């Protein structure tokens, strides 16, 4: 299960980088697209930190 979580988080993180990088292609919506990518990145980091904290508490 941990490997699946890791793979999903990595896929979403790479996707957030792609979204933030391609934000300049969306004329008029650059800020919204970049913010969506940044939000996805922040969620990935927060989920990873929460998973790590739970793992430390269980041991």
Q: Give the pLDDT of residue 13.
A: 95
Q: Which pTM does this prediction carry?
A: 0.81
Residue 59 has pLDDT above 60, yes or no: no
Predicted confidence (pLDDT) per residue in 5-57, tens digit: 889 999 999 999 999 999 999 999 999 999 999 999 999 999 989 888 887 66
DSSP string of 11-45?
HHHHHHHHHHHTGGGSTT-HHHHHHHHHHHHHHHH
Q: Give the pLDDT of residue 40.
A: 96
Give 30's contacts (C-beta < 8 A, 6+ positions apart): 23, 24
Q: Which of 36, 32, 56, 43 is nearest to 8 (CA)?
A: 43
């Amino acid at each position: 299960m941990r490997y699946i979580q890791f793979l999903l988080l990595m896929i979403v993180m790479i996707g957030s980088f792609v979204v933030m990088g391609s934000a300049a292609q969306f004329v008029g919506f650059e800020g919204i697209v970049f913010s969506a990518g940044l939000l996805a990145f922040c969620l990935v980091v927060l989920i990873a930190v929460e998973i790590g904290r739970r793992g430390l508490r269980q041991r």
